[in-house]
Structure 1
Amino acid sequence: MSNEERKTLPKRDEVDEKFKWDLTSIYGSDQKWEEEFNKVKEEFPKIQEYRGKLGESAAKLLEGLKFSDGISRKLENLYNYASRKSDEDTTNNTYQGMLSKVQGLYNAVGSASAFIVPEIIQIPKEEIEGFLQEEEGLQIYKHSLDEILRQKEHFLSPKEERLLALAGELAQGPANIFGMINNADMAFPSIKGEDGEEVEVTHGRYVELLKNKNRHIRRDAFKAYYSSYQELENTIATTLNSNIKRDLFYMRARKYNSSLEAALDGNNIPVDVYNNLIKVVSDNLDSMYRYIDLRKRSLGVEELHMYDIYTPIVKDVQMKVSYEEAQDILMKALAPLGEEYLSLLERAFSESWIDIYENKGKRSGAYSASSYDAHPYILMNYTEDIDDLFTLAHELGHALHSYYSNEEQPYIYADYSIFVAEVASTVNEALLMQHLLETTEDEEKRKYILNHYLEQFRGTVYRQTMFAEFEKLIHDKAEEGVPLTPELFSKEYLDLNRKYYGDNITLDEEIGIEWARIPHFYYNFYVYQYATGFSAAIALSRQILEVGEEAVEKYLNFLKGGSSDYPIELLKTAGVDMKSPEPIQEALDEFSKLVEEMKSLV
């Protein structure tokens, strides 16, 4: 029985076992976890025996690296089990305690092994190359060692590195302060709801209120929400300014040419990739303007306001999909990925990889998580809404990416970078979207699906690129010595909204303060990866559908690549060159086509 059929949420022990994940592939019991925890706690201090000795010989370097990997691998399993158990029921103190213990152990291990990279940096490159020739077992670490040496010019002396490490906690200050302001101290006014009742505006309710079909509720929620940020604009501007100064400090300390270059170098991403994204999206804003015009016409308003861009432009459509139906739909939608991929989907469904329904105390939302020695796990809170179908497709994409990487790569290369993390999940969503558009005959349902897809494009490609452009702009100004004031932030942000949404929308003054609520502006040039990952996925899904087997083989090899090469190179082997503007252009061409199709239906 799904939770849709129940009046109240069940307790965890009332949920049928067939709807729960099975964590015994990590540890057979809590006692086994405790035994492993105690072993790791006893073993990890031995890493100190390698301090100051990694450069002595090839054998000693290999021994130190293998010992460190062994501890990390066990620690990953400990964390995976405790975290999954904790998320089953966040009120269970036993698993909260286990999670806290393993987090403490993670910190202790990280501190004890922090000497490894700085010590390798001090070994001359010629000596490392000699070690690689001398010790066959080191060959597996070649890419990892090359990656450390690639950034050698940006590392400092051991004493200077220690000082930078000591400053790490201080550097997190602006983000932590913003988090407390935004999540703990921020209070919002109440507004009049559907029946005249008082409804408190909150972070969780805000977007839902903007989707409300009642326009005065959307308007009042919008104005109430941003009034609270306007009251604190000076404090939040100072906090964001401090965060940007942090980025400039590390950029200068590590001898980079810009904050952007410093942020992208960790994944060896050329600055041109970032700039290309902004340029190509900027050159294709006419499609967004047509979408805004379509939205205005569909809603039947004389003036389209910023609080009108989230509400659906189609009438309410009931598209309930049971979990059993979802499995069947996904098997058909993802069939283009081949029999091997489908067999892994079958395993995910039949071997208890997925925790399906909500129960009391269960963590909200959805995710995929894995460790090297166990198959991936997916947390869902499935409610039979069509959005849950897309979420399931999304998380299965992550899960199978992790499965392939873990199966094909040694431990050190099994984890993939953030730059490619959203590719596999979005490929699955794109294939599902195409399948639904091909098989849905009901016109209202078809419009509903198209609206969902168009909003994904707007939110993931256009909006995240606007964020990326704002982030680059304010860092550039800081590097030029321009004072970063609340007035500057709001003016530049308002101008970007005008650029991205066009003249056919009324730019309410409140939108100028939106920069004050975006936590990603404290993540150091993170958001562009949502747009590049989405664009790469659209290009790959088109190749899979149009080219077939050859494209599928390349794509599966990409999934198996982990971090065995730089993310740009891995994507290139799949058939997408993110150094070129083509993948971004292909995605935006798809958006343009969808806008025209939607225009023909509404």
Structure 2
Amino acid sequence: MPKVLLERKDVDEKFTWDLTAIFKTEEEFEQTVKEAQKFTAEVEDKFKGKLNTAEAINECLNRLRKVYQLTTLTGSYSYLAVAVDQTNVENQERRMKLSNISSDIESRLSFVESEIIEVSEDVIKEAIEQSVENAGYLREIMRKKEHALHPEVEKALSALSSTLNSPYQIYNRTKLADMDFGTFTVDGKEYPLSFGLFEDEWEYEHDTKIRRAAFEAFSKKLREYQHTIAGAYQTQVQKEKTMATLRGFDSVIDSLLFPQEVTRDLYNRQIDLIMEHLAPHMRKFAKLLQKIHGIEEMTFADLKLNVDPDFELEISVEESKKYIEGALSVLGDDYLEVIKRAYDERWIDFVQNKGKSTGAFCSSPYGAHPFILISWTERMREVFVLAHELGHAGHFYLAQQNQNIFDTRPSTYFVEAPSTMNEMLMANYLMKTMDNPRMKRWVLSSMISRTYYHNFVTHLLEAHYQREVYKIIDGGGSVQAATLNKLKKETLEKFWGDTVKINEGAELTWMRQPHYYMGLYPYTYSAGLTIATEVSKRVLNEGKVALDDWKEVLKAGGTKTPVELAQMAGVDITTDKPLLNTIEHIGNIIDEIISLTEEIENR
């Protein structure tokens, strides 16, 4: 049974991250904020109205990089403090105060991009020739030229950035601070419930009565807030549509794909091919779970069950090091050094506590090391989650060592490839080191139920639903709770067919993920995993050559488009082939799980 969540002040500090790696004291944080404001004023005084030569442009951008680094550090520091405890008023106040300052800085510096956009292409090209460090930033500005607004409008939008980002803040506050799930009761016994406990524990509970009771109680609380969160989401998508129209895009989808440097074809392919070709494989997997657990009618609340719930190993944070280092050591000593430092220097927040953000993420502020948030449940499945987040950490650590702050972040289309690649390496390692059929089945079923389910099912179904929302918004409509519930239910029913009953509460799944406030992000998980699956096959077949290519991709950061990065890794994502190969690979894994199940049952 899950333990009752502690207050943040009561958790074991050694399993929390150490934010003093960014700022040792509050005074140092405040001094850096002032320094950022001072640099901003200097850039504004010296360059505003004067960015009409290649020399002036590059001199300005050299200073802008420094401002970006300072604001990245202060922004990360304030955000990470809130992420581990949404109930801490002091941290919330610091975050809001900095948000207002950051909006002012952003507004005052908006002239840089606006003025450069106004100069001739010849001047921008000359500036590119003069500076390797600023070339990527300047090429992106040239790409944005046709969608730029009047400088004063850009300035106003920058000044409003904190307000414009408020739907996401409202969503998080509602979900993590206001929703009190209390407890639920089964056969006279009371069980604790929270957002984190449901998603980390109860969803995987193999006692059907308890699992379904938790789902029902969880859904009941979500339903109480559906109109508030629908209102926040409607504000978000309407804002995105307004911005798209202002910038001359026909569709909000085109507007959101533009910064990703991805065509509509690549976007639609991920959604349409997976909906059509993966669904039969996943229905087969759902039927296997139904058979193993003796469930009369498979429902949405049963889909996170383990193939072998009695076999999953318990594992401590300390014990996880052996598996993480064993699996990722193939990436070389420099990469392994990053992994060891992550443990030793408290880059990772493992604990569970009240008010902590759900799920897991990695934040990699330029000028400091990465920070990983995870809620460790002492289960082996968390090793895959940690390997995933360390994939982001290793990626940005290497990128930041090799690129300046303008060039570290690749398109979101590619950003999940390094993280899911690490999950593949973990699976490869465990399959090599284990000869027990039950252990092999556990590894393969973890790949399906965690890695592929998470990226190719959960997030893909989010993407399908999200696309339907944007079609309504593009058509001049709006989305209320009833519409969102209907769209989500239709998406789930289309994928699962008559294999899985989409029971009451499943339609509220749109309320559970923050990704809808991050543009067209959900579909990129499957895109990244498609690349990772193909590269991991190269690693198994070619060894060091493929790994060396991959390391160069990681170091390249954001200097290339997603298509170019994939090409560096030996994958051509301009065709259907990698995605269809990946779907076939998933089908083969499911067939092997079924075969191993029969072997185990016949022993």
Q: What TM-score do the two structures reach when normalised by structure 1?
A: 0.85
Matched, 1:461 2:456: yes
The structure 2 residue matched to 1:523, chosen from 518, 521, 524, is 518
Given that 2:51 and 2:112 are in contact with CA atoms closer than 8 Å, whether structure 1 keeps it comes out as: no
Matched, 1:472 2:501: no
Matched, 1:392 2:390: no
Matched, 1:126 2:122: yes
Match of 1:254 in 2: 247
Distance in 1 (CA, whole Å) between partners of 2:241 and 2:74 is 37
Farther off after superposition, 275-284 or 161-170: 161-170
Given that 2:52 and 2:116 are in contact with CA atoms closer than 8 Å, whether structure 1 keeps it comes out as: no
Match of 1:297 in 2: 291
The one-letter code sitting in structure 2 at the alignment partner of 1:317 is: F
1:139/1:201 CA distance change after superposition, 3 Å: closer
Distance in 1 (CA, whole Å) between partners of 2:394 and 2:68 is 22
Match of 1:511 in 2: 506
Match of 1:288 in 2: 282
Matched, 1:442 2:436: yes
Q: Secondary structure at the match of 1:506?
A: coil
Farther off after superposition, 94-103 or 461-470: 94-103
Distance in 1 (CA, whole Å) between partners of 2:285 and 2:370 is 38
Q: Secondary structure at the match of 2:184?
A: strand
Distance in 2 (CA, whole Å) between partners of 1:13 and 1:514 is 30
Larger radius of gyration: 1
Match of 1:411 in 2: 405
1:373/1:480 CA distance change after superposition, 3 Å: closer
Match of 1:48 in 2: 44
Distance in 1 (CA, whole Å) between partners of 2:160 and 2:239 is 10
Given that 2:86 and 2:176 are in contact with CA atoms closer than 8 Å, whether structure 1 keeps it comes out as: no
Farther off after superposition, 21-30 or 532-541: 21-30
Distance in 1 (CA, whole Å) between partners of 2:8 and 2:154 is 52
The one-letter code sitting in structure 2 at the alignment partner of 1:147 is: E
Given that 1:22 and 1:353 are in contact with CA atoms closer than 8 Å, whether structure 2 keeps it comes out as: yes
Distance in 2 (CA, whole Å) between partners of 1:204 and 1:262 is 33
1:99/1:230 CA distance change after superposition, 3 Å: closer
The one-letter code sitting in structure 2 at the alignment partner of 1:152 is: K
Distance in 1 (CA, whole Å) between partners of 2:315 and 2:13 is 20
Distance in 1 (CA, whole Å) between partners of 2:145 and 2:10 is 51
The one-letter code sitting in structure 2 at the alignment partner of 1:118 is: S
Distance in 2 (CA, whole Å) between partners of 1:13 and 1:479 is 47
1:228/1:344 CA distance change after superposition, 3 Å: closer
Given that 1:461 and 1:535 are in contact with CA atoms closer than 8 Å, whether structure 2 keeps it comes out as: no
Distance in 2 (CA, whole Å) between partners of 1:459 and 1:296 is 19
Distance in 1 (CA, whole Å) between partners of 2:294 and 2:64 is 63
Farther off after superposition, 340-349 or 287-296: 340-349
Deviation of the 1:599 alpha carbon: 0.8
Distance in 1 (CA, whole Å) between partners of 2:331 and 2:547 is 6
The one-letter code sitting in structure 2 at the alignment partner of 1:496 is: T
Match of 1:4 in 2: none
Given that 1:296 and 1:304 are in contact with CA atoms closer than 8 Å, whether structure 2 keeps it comes out as: yes
Residues 11-30 of structure 1: pairs in structure 2 closer than 5 A: none
The structure 2 residue matched to 1:592, chosen from 572, 587, 590, is 587
Given that 2:107 and 2:158 are in contact with CA atoms closer than 8 Å, whether structure 1 keeps it comes out as: no
Distance in 1 (CA, whole Å) between partners of 2:207 and 2:325 is 38
Match of 1:550 in 2: 545
Match of 1:540 in 2: 535
Matched, 1:64 2:60: yes
Match of 1:3 in 2: none
Deviation of the 1:84 alpha carbon: 6.7
Aligned length: 590
Distance in 2 (CA, whole Å) between partners of 1:541 and 1:500 is 27
Deviation of the 1:274 alpha carbon: 1.1
Given that 1:393 and 1:428 are in contact with CA atoms closer than 8 Å, whether structure 2 keeps it comes out as: yes
Distance in 1 (CA, whole Å) between partners of 2:360 and 2:458 is 22
Match of 2:600 in 1: none
Distance in 1 (CA, whole Å) between partners of 2:484 and 2:78 is 42
Listed one character per residue, the Cα deviations across residues 136-187 of structure 1 (whole Å, up to 9, x for unaligned) are 2x34322211111111111122244345446656644554554555445556
Q: Secondary structure at the match of 2:304?
A: coil
Given that 1:54 and 1:64 are in contact with CA atoms closer than 8 Å, whether structure 2 keeps it comes out as: no
Q: Secondary structure at the match of 1:192?
A: strand
Listed one character per residue, the Cα deviations across residues 161-218 of structure 1 (whole Å, up to 9, x for unaligned) are 345446656644554554555445556585323x523446432333333322222222
Query: Any gaps of 5 or more consecutive residues in structure 1?
Result: 1-7
Farther off after superposition, 230-239 or 262-271: 230-239
1:259/1:599 CA distance change after superposition, 3 Å: same
Residues 182-193 of structure 1: pairs in structure 2 closer than 5 A: 182-186=175-179, 191-193=184-186
Listed one character per residue, the Cα deviations across residues 48-104 of structure 1 (whole Å, up to 9, x for unaligned) are 214533433222212211111122223434555677788899999998887777656
Given that 1:319 and 1:445 are in contact with CA atoms closer than 8 Å, whether structure 2 keeps it comes out as: no
Farther off after superposition, 420-429 or 324-333: 324-333
1:532/1:42 CA distance change after superposition, 3 Å: same
Distance in 2 (CA, whole Å) between partners of 1:90 and 1:487 is 29
Q: Secondary structure at the match of 1:525?
A: coil
The structure 2 residue matched to 1:427, chosen from 400, 421, 441, is 421
Q: What TM-score do the two structures reach when normalised by structure 2?
A: 0.85
Given that 1:336 and 1:544 are in contact with CA atoms closer than 8 Å, whether structure 2 keeps it comes out as: no
The structure 1 residue matched to 2:210, chosen from 199, 217, 230, is 217
1:33/1:260 CA distance change after superposition, 3 Å: closer
The one-letter code sitting in structure 2 at the alignment partner of 1:574 is: A
Match of 1:497 in 2: 492
Given that 1:321 and 1:386 are in contact with CA atoms closer than 8 Å, whether structure 2 keeps it comes out as: yes
Q: Secondary structure at the match of 1:311?
A: coil
The one-letter code sitting in structure 2 at the alignment partner of 1:215 is: T
Given that 1:263 and 1:525 are in contact with CA atoms closer than 8 Å, whether structure 2 keeps it comes out as: yes
Given that 2:107 and 2:156 are in contact with CA atoms closer than 8 Å, whether structure 1 keeps it comes out as: no
Distance in 2 (CA, whole Å) between partners of 1:224 and 1:250 is 38
Match of 1:307 in 2: 301
Deviation of the 1:275 alpha carbon: 0.3
Farther off after superposition, 377-386 or 210-219: 377-386
